[in-house]
Amino acid sequence: MHADSPEVIIDLDAIQRNFAIATSIAGPDVDVAAVVKSDGYGLGLSRLIEPLAAAGCRTFFVADLSEAHCVRERSKGGTVFVLAGMKRDHAEHCRKNRFVPVCNTLGEVVAAVDGGCDYALNLETGFSRFGLGLSDVRSLIHRSLPPPLLVMSHLACADEPANTLNELQKNRFVCLSELLGPTRRSLAASAGLFLGPAYLFDLVRLGSALYGLNTTDLVPNPFMNVLKLRACVVDVRHVHAGASVGYRSTFRASRPTRLGILSIGYAHGLAWSLSNRLNVQIGSHVAPLVGRVAMEYVAIDLTDVPDQFCQPGQWVELITKDRSADAMARAGATVAQEVMLRVGAACRRSYVAIEQGMDA
């Protein structure tokens, strides 16, 4: 990538602090696992494991076997759960590397047991995506198979504390898991952490909150922002009043306007829906995005920004300590997880030294 390519800056210290915050909220009797699927929510799985292990994390959830191997290389003693389930040709990998497949069907459980693997069990309690229901659990009991290492389910509406589906799912989870006998249980993910002790059981799966995302809209956000996104001004142009900017001329200048052209677009994960809807930060100043987000570039209005910040080579921040991925998601009518995944996967990444912090 070029020196002026957009850059994502990840604060590893903030990730460690978020893990510690969640551990404190969960309490001493509840373990906290790190969900690092999808390449660590786009932030680079390989760079996250060692800081998390140093913070005391011993349990990780990943999407697939390739991610599981990445974690195992960096955490020899940790427990690694694989959310993709169990296939018979995975048995040797899981057994040798002590991976724990999360089984979603009775057939997957049988494949895990036949392969000599520990396994976790996902129960369907109301999400209607994956998991074993009541008839499957009864069949499992009749087969007298070894018990799972963990029984889990997933709340559909944990970010809505008043939603009655939360309690319904919890009650179903309790009933199904009790049929299986004593085993470790996990129902809550990041948002579920705030539903109260009755939802926490033995293990909380910390995903979005680990990366500072405010899934429950708490004020203030109890977790720290871990991400900055910045792009470079590559050109400065002056247009007259009435001039149109970008595709379909969705912005027309109401006055003589100074434009900054930034080297970021939807090729770098910036949502097209942010067209004319995002403010960016230049030093202590704010400038609006004007016109449509294009593939490689976007324009901002620099008219009210001091000259010293309006030169090619100036860096502009789109996600900052105070302007989070949550704020960008609201502006673009999407979710913060998508924002983080898209820009994290497409932009150049750098990592703040643990002792430096985001203001370095």
Tell me the C-alpha distance between 86 and 109, whole Å. 8
User: Following CA atoms 321, 342, 11, 218 in sequence, which dihedral angle do they give, to the nearest 10 degrees?
Assistant: 50
Q: ω before 220 within 30° of 0 (cis)?
A: yes
Place of tokens 């006055």: 255
247 included as an active-site residue? yes
Tell me the C-alpha distance between 40 and 325, whole Å. 15
- Active-site option among 76, 87, 247, 321: 247
List the one residue out of 349, 347, 41 whose CA is nearest residue 210: 41
Burial of 74 (0-12, 13-18, 19+ CB in 10 A): middle
- Active-site option among 37, 170, 228, 321: 37
Tell me the C-alpha distance between 84 and 314, whole Å. 43
Place of tokens 């976790």: 120
Q: Judge whether 231 and 315 are in contact, CB under 8 Å.
A: yes
Tell me the C-alpha distance between 283 and 309, whole Å. 8
Tell me the C-alpha distance between 131 and 143, whole Å. 18
84-91, long-range: CB < 8 A, 24+ apart? 85/130, 86/111, 86/112, 86/115, 86/117, 86/119, 87/111, 88/114, 88/115, 90/65, 90/115, 91/115, 91/116, 91/117
Q: Judge whether 60 and 49 are in contact, CB under 8 Å.
A: yes
Tell me the C-alpha distance between 3 and 313, whole Å. 10
By annotation, the residues acting in catalysis are 37, 247
